[in-house]
Structure 1
Amino acid sequence: MVLTAGRGTRMRSSLPKVLHPIAGLPMIDHVVRAAQGANAAQIILTIGPTSEALRSRYDSTVELAWQPEPLGTGDAVAVALPLLGPHIEWVLVIYGDHPLIDSSTLANLMSRAIAEGPILALLTFDLADPGPYGRFRFGPDGRIIGTVEAVDDTSDRQAVTTVNSGMCAYRRDWLEGHIGRLPLSPKGEYYLTGLVEMAAASRWPVNPVIAVPAPVELALGVNDRAELAEAERLLRERINRRHMLAGVSIVDPASTFIDVDVEIGNDTRIEPGCMLRGSTGVGSGCVIGPGSVIEDSIIGDDCRVMSSWLEQARVGAGVTIGPYAHLRPGAIVGTGARIGNFAEIKNATLGSQSHMHHFGYVGDAHVGARVNIGAGVVVCNYDGREKHHTEIGDDVFVGSDTLLIAPVALGAGSSTGAGSVVTRSVAPGAAVRGVPARVVPRPESDGSG
């Protein structure tokens, strides 16, 4: 069970707390993935009025339990229990605002519970300063016998304190029989922590309540924007480390932001100040940056992308881009192409070994192989009402400051002179010059090579 129906008022946001993004995904996605990775047989999200937006996001991948009023964690579990399948024996309760929890930690919690056979297994962590976290009461034998909220803890704690993460695993039959016994708190809510004392007091052949320790950062919950930023920092450190251990060089991890679903090949070097977002994939042997932003794009092997921005673009192997180039959605760049400073490509293909070294714009076009696009070339694809296509064949030379008024085509091997305004299609091998561009004789070789 993933509990998500809390109000989240400290976020001060119209967006449900668990939908705030972290490392390229909504917070809740990290939690659901952790549960899936732990091989949960069934996943139930409790949602309420403040998390209604989750209904459309998860209606086909998980089951949803409706909590009409946020009456506490105990009530959230109670509304989800009727949805459990008959095969479920253990109930794992986690929280949608704990994005750092991982599959191995949840799997370890469940394996310890199954192996040791308690009523309740609690995921705990140790803090020198327990702050607002709930703590435990222990019996003379060192066993957990209950919990203490931070505001009620009057003890003078000098040592490291074991605190309650809130995440836990229950025997299903015991949980169903005791969830209805939770008392109503002075705040008008039912708290799941009340079950700890009930379980500890139960007659049970083994220790009824066990603690399963976890690293403190995995249990970090997000309640406000400051904690969201801290969780993102920790998650990005984890992501960067995973890539570095897989053979990727990250020059300055502190200034490098890589989303969780990004894939990077070995021997690629990420220079400082880069952001790799969404479902980006980068091949092997590349150099990215410094200062590049790559979003939902695919980059082949042995590419260089310097201080440039790529969005939903596809780049072949051996391509050089930048500095300060912009590949917008739909840009496709062939093997060995060269794209220089202040060049922009949108919804267009630049063929293999083609060059666009200097500032210019190519949009809604197909550019063939071995084409040279001179400085200042603009494909004028929009007439004020509609977008039009431009076709440029192989081995074309487009002179500097040429304007191509779409729809228009330049045949293979053709050329345009500097400053030409091309309003009509050009035949293969022809040369055009002027405003508007007209066919002129092509210069003949003098045979000197």
Structure 2
Amino acid sequence: MKKYVVVLAAGKGTRMKSKLYKVLHKVCGKMMVEHVVDAARGVDPEEIITVVGTGAGEVEKVLTGKSDFAFQEKQLGTGDAVLTAKEKLADKDGATLVVTGDTPLFTTNTFKNLFAYHAEKGNAATVLTAEAPNPFGYGRIIRDDQGNVLRIVEQKDGKPEELKVKEINTGVFCFDNKKLFEALKHVDNNNAQGEYYLTDVLEILRNEGERVGAYKMHDFSESLGVNDRIALAQATKIMQKRINEAHMRNGVSFIDPATAYIDSDVKIGNDTVIEGNVVIKGNTEIGSDCLITNGSRIVDSKIGNGVTITSSTLQEAEMDDNTDIGPNSHLRPKAVVRQGAHIGNFVEVKNAEIGENTKVGHLTYVGDATLGKDINIGCGTIFSNYDGVKKFHTNVGDHAFIGAGSTLIAPINVADHAFIAADTTVTKDVGKYEMAIGRGRQVNKPDYWHKLPLSKDKDWE
């Protein structure tokens, strides 16, 4: 059986109160419509068509390469939205999955089960349902005495006895493709909303003697549709729990999984420990045997094995095996920390490489620099890389020693085994084995105290 997917993503989502198109809001680092399309891709469909409307260009930019597109000019309902895919799909044999782009929690496994049930029962249409603890706002599944699906009643159109039903329409359907588009010709908008409901297709097919069934899934939480910021937060919480549990099953330890926020594409090796209040986002990769402590934030970074990150921030940075950082330090984009290197507290590194076993202990800024191996960077050192117009680079060779409080004014080269004395401002290159001293000589003024007015005050003696 050939499979097709139609993703409905044409609504603006006014209840989000946002300039951003609704389906482009993110859940755990990925836009909602991306979650839906990625889950649908897992069933190996022949085609995925995303129906777009308001903000079409932005949605197409996100899904290019993953989906084709159809355009719904006016928001006339779900039936009308599916009909926009007619030219691409109507004459094809197979089954079509219809799902909305604001339901980011559906899994590939659920879609596979729905397709399988649909084929097994020989249905013309199969609706994906679930038991809702509080069904308010959902369309209700109305069955006959034998359990066959008669119709779906929307909240605003339901009679009191119908609205007591707790089995709800999740908004996901599987149709015989040709019968779907034939039935859509007969859908009207005679309802409270004045819209063309896709759900009316079920009753049309049943009246034509076709089989209409329902597949009830076990996990109601998958069906959560996001229409406002409250639902967005709920979806994020559910996804967060799902992601963290998957990592734990793969050998990652979470001290407090409820407060660890991990994006959906993050990779983490086994025997790594994640403490509470940690945020790991984007395409971050973390190796095995690492420790990420409370308050750390890691974005789009690559972390090796045996790394300790203590209450620090990393963005588009790399840390090789057996390195450590923190507390309260910051690796900015293009920062690279090589194997065995140490980044201490209150250190900022940007567009710089820290060589193997080099130590940058504390209160230091390293920007636009290449540091060799086995270097000691003293406290309070500044790599001064910007003259107000351009950025310049500094190179420091292996086994160099940079004394505390030094300022290296780029562009400059410090050779292997060079020394820079504490509190030196370096403005020219330092050769191999040389020591640079760039500070005024100390002068002690004898008996200076007695020249001060304070010296006349007995309380200061």
The normalised TM-score by structure 2 is: 0.91
Compare 210-219 and 14-23 and name the one that shifted more: 210-219
Aligned to 1:446: none
Helix, strand or coil at the partner of 2:47: coil
1:189 to partner: Cα distance: 1.8
Aligned to 1:350: 354
Unaligned residue ranges in structure 2 (runs of 5+): 1-5, 442-461
**1:300 aligns with one of 301, 304, 307:** 304
Q: Which amino acid aligns with 2:189?
A: L
**1:368 aligns with one of 368, 372, 384:** 372
For 1:65-102, what per-residue CA distance to the aligned partner results, in whole angstroms no more than 9, with x for missing partners?
01111111001100012112865511100010000011
1:14 to partner: Cα distance: 1.0
For 1:179-230, what per-residue CA distance to the aligned partner results, in whole angstroms no more than 9, with x for missing partners?
11101234332110111111222224xx433334341011110000000000
Q: Determine the C-alpha separation between the residues in 1 that align with 2:129 and 2:189.
A: 25
8 Å CA contact 1:339, 1:358 repeated in 2:
yes
Q: Determine the C-alpha separation between the residues in 2 that align with 1:424 and 1:259.
A: 46
| Correspondence list, 1:214-229, <5 A | 214-229=218-233
For 1:154-183, what per-residue CA distance to the aligned partner results, in whole angstroms no more than 9, with x for missing partners?
335798721111100000111121111101
Q: Determine the C-alpha separation between the residues in 2 that align with 1:221 and 1:362.
A: 47
Q: Determine the C-alpha separation between the residues in 1 that align with 2:387 and 2:102.
A: 49
For 1:247-276, what per-residue CA distance to the aligned partner results, in whole angstroms no more than 9, with x for missing partners?
000000111000000000000000111000
Aligned to 2:64: 59
8 Å CA contact 1:101, 1:219 repeated in 2:
yes
Q: Which amino acid aligns with 1:220?
A: L
| Correspondence list, 1:34-183, <5 A | 34-84=39-89, 88-156=93-161, 161-183=166-188
User: Identity rate of aligned residues, in percent?
Assistant: 38
8 Å CA contact 1:145, 1:201 repeated in 2:
no
Helix, strand or coil at the partner of 1:234: helix
1:22 to partner: Cα distance: 1.1
Aligned to 1:287: 291
8 Å CA contact 1:293, 1:308 repeated in 2:
yes
Q: Which amino acid aligns with 1:7?
A: K
Q: Which amino acid aligns with 1:237?
A: K
Aligned to 1:443: none
Q: Determine the C-alpha separation between the residues in 2 that align with 1:93 and 1:277.
A: 30
**1:273 aligns with one of 273, 277, 280:** 277
**2:244 aligns with one of 240, 245, 251:** 240
**2:202 aligns with one of 196, 202, 214:** 196
Aligned to 2:343: 339
Q: Structure 1 residues 139 and 424 mapped into 2: Cα distance closer, same or farther (>3 Å)?
A: same
Aligned to 2:432: 428
1:24 to partner: Cα distance: 0.5
The normalised TM-score by structure 1 is: 0.94
Helix, strand or coil at the partner of 1:167: strand
- Mapped pair 1:10 → 2:15: yes
Q: Structure 1 residues 160 and 352 mapped into 2: Cα distance closer, same or farther (>3 Å)?
A: farther
Moved over 6 A (4+): 157-160
CA RMSD of aligned residues (A): 1.7
